[in-house]
Amino acid sequence: PPAIRKISEEHDKVFVSGCLEPDTSRPRANGAFVVLARNKELDGVIQSIKSIERHFNRWYHYPYVFLNDGEFNSTFKETVQNYTSGTVEFGKVDHDMWGYPDWLDPKVWKEGIAKQGDAAVMYGGLESYHAMCRFYSGFFYKHPLLAKYEWYWRLEPEIKYFCDITYDPFLAMIDNNKTYGFTIAVKELKETVPNIFRYASAYKRLNNITSQGLWEMFTEPPEIDSDAVEGEKYNMCHFWSNFEIARLDFFRSKEYEDFFQMMDKSGGFWMERWGDAPIHSLAAGILLAPRDIHYFRDFGYRHTTIQHCPANAPARQLPRDPFLEKTTSDERKRLEEDRYWDEWDAPKENGVGCRCR
Ligand code: GDP
Ligand code: MN
């Protein structure tokens, strides 16, 4: 799509290219890894820590903030501390950030969630997943443990980095005046966000916000008989938020807060299964410009079935991956769409800005 091409070619270059020795000459930025997890996810968390430590943090030693709506047990805390090279803090997410809506009749939202479960909306029937998405949409950046930070790098259980990251992406984003960084953009499952665009679009219109060029990445002209809003419809594209490096300022702004409040009041986090990924993306589309966004096309990254691998990008052969053979047709479709997005920007030579293995 033209808009993502715009991000990469006109406004956004890879920060560093070539195989480099890790550059640790400058002081760290004021940033941290943020990991939301449960005790039972310890193995997946350790997998992710091993990967980010091996490929980046053993040189940079950024701190970690672990958050949980429950209490982390001592096994979790001790094990995590054994694998991290930066300082680690553990925090609880209180009810005011992990709430279920008190302004909605519990019968109504619980029924709404049950219906989504019956309709097999992905994670739609899981109350906790709804709460998680809402937390990452409107609260994580307000958590007391993040108050001292200006930047965060989101880390999830069971992810993998393939390439050494030999420069500091926080500093690179600061140097280049970037606000939000992603590495994979995919299409959302329509049934999780039937009305999200109606509300996002209303926020934009009610506040008289004109696009700075990024909105077009998320919109397309409607078909003749569609339910378009203001002559536009959501094309389902979103930055896949399980990886994110961003300025917390963006989320802490009045504009973002107003946006979140309006989205929250619609009930869409409960009556639909809005993910934090489309929420962050549509907010960016409204409030930011392409030049504020960075596509980390040099980061090799995998989360479950979707990956971005700079070394393989030019000639990726999906059927040859035995892991993919096992995926369902839906997942496969998403994968192919991921490849579609990536192809616009795949570096033409291997290992741009990194060493992959
Ligand atoms: P997926 O990536 O969309 O399949 O969803 P995940 O299960 O990976 O959840 C996204 C993130 O939220 C991960 O970091 C999870 O560890 C975390 N998460 C999801 N649900 C909960 C929950 O109920 N409690 C806590 N503490 N973390 C959760
Ligand atoms: Mn995940």
pLDDT-derived band at 352, boundaries 50, 70, 90: very low
- Residue 342's pLDDT is 42
Task: Please write the tens of the pLDDT for every residue from 40-95.
Answer: 999 999 999 999 999 999 999 999 999 999 999 999 999 999 999 999 999 999 99
**252: Cα within 13 Å, side-chain hemisphere:** 17
Output the CA 10–ligand 2 centroid distance in Å: 31
Structure tokens at 296: 């980390």
- Residue 309's pLDDT is 76
Contacts of 17 (CB under 8 A, 6+ apart): 298, 347, 352, 353
- Three-state SS for 243? coil
Q: Which atom of ligand 1 is nearest to 68's Cα? A: 26
Nearest CA to ligand 1 atom 13: 156
Is 244 a known active-site residue? yes
Least confident of 62-66, 113-117, 274-278, 310-314: 310-314
pLDDT-derived band at 354, boundaries 50, 70, 90: very low
Instruction: Indicate the top mutation candidate among 77, 94, 121, 129 to test ligand 1's pocket, ranked by most ligand atoms within 8 A of CB.
Output: 129
Ligand nearest to the CA of residue 137, numbered in listed order? 1
Structure tokens at 112: 């709404």
pLDDT above 60 (res 109): yes
pLDDT-derived band at 330, boundaries 50, 70, 90: low
Output the CA 132–ligand 1 centroid distance in Å: 7
- Residue 350's pLDDT is 34
- Residue 351's pLDDT is 34
- What range does the domain containing 258 cover? 2-10+30-345
Residues 342 and 348 sit within 8 Å (Cβ to Cβ):
no
- Residue 3's pLDDT is 56
Q: Is residue 16 part of a domain?
A: no
Q: Is residue 264 part of a domain?
A: yes
**Residues near ligand 1 (Cβ within 6 A):** 36-38, 41, 68-69, 128-129, 132, 156-157, 242
| pLDDT cut 90: percent of the chain above it | 68
Identify the DSSP state of 280. H
Output the CA 46–ligand 1 centroid distance in Å: 15
Q: In angstroms, rounded to a whole number, what is the distance separating the alpha carbons of residues 63 and 86?
A: 4
Output the CA 303–ligand 2 centroid distance in Å: 7
Q: Is residue 112 part of a domain?
A: yes
Q: Which ipTM was obtained for this model?
A: 0.99
pLDDT above 50 (res 273): yes
Task: Please write the tens of the pLDDT for every residue from 150-161.
Answer: 999 999 999 999
pLDDT-derived band at 320, boundaries 50, 70, 90: very low
> How far is CA 63 from its chain centroid?
19
Structural domain total, the chain: 1
Ligand nearest to the CA of residue 155, numbered in listed order? 1
Stretch 223-239: mean pLDDT: 79
Task: Please write the tens of the pLDDT for every residue from 158-184.
Answer: 999 988 899 999 999 999 999 999 998
Q: Is residue 193 part of a domain?
A: yes
Least confident of 33-37, 144-148, 189-193, 330-334: 330-334
User: Which region, left, alpha or beta, applies to residue 61 given φ > 0 means left and ψ of -120 to 50 means alpha?
Assistant: left
Structure tokens at 219: 């919109």
Nearest CA to ligand 1 atom 4: 304
- pTM of structure: 0.88
Residues 300 and 356 sit within 8 Å (Cβ to Cβ):
yes
Ligand nearest to the CA of residue 133, numbered in listed order? 1
Nearest CA to ligand 1 atom 2: 242
Nearest CA to ligand 1 atom 22: 128
Question: In 10 A of CB 204, how many CB atoms?
Answer: 22
- Residue 231's pLDDT is 78
Output the CA 35–ligand 1 centroid distance in Å: 9
Instruction: Indicate the top mutation candidate among 38, 39, 134, 334 to test ligand 1's pocket, ranked by most ligand atoms within 8 A of CB.
Output: 38
Q: Which atom of ligand 1 is nearest to 129's Cα? A: 20
Domain CATH for 241 = 3.90.550.10
Task: Please write the tens of the pLDDT for every residue from 133-149.
Answer: 999 999 999 999 999 99
Q: What is the mean pLDDT of the chain?
A: 86
Q: Is residue 20 part of a domain?
A: no
Taking CA atoms, 24 is separated from 21, 59, 185, 229, in Å, by 9, 7, 29, 49
Q: Is residue 19 part of a domain?
A: no
Task: Please write the tens of the pLDDT for every residue from 199-208.
Answer: 999 999 999 9
Output the CA 167–ligand 1 centroid distance in Å: 28
Catalytic pick from 41, 53, 156, 244?
244
Q: Name the residue with tokens 């200006």.
A: 150
Amino acid at 246: A
Q: Is residue 106 part of a domain?
A: yes
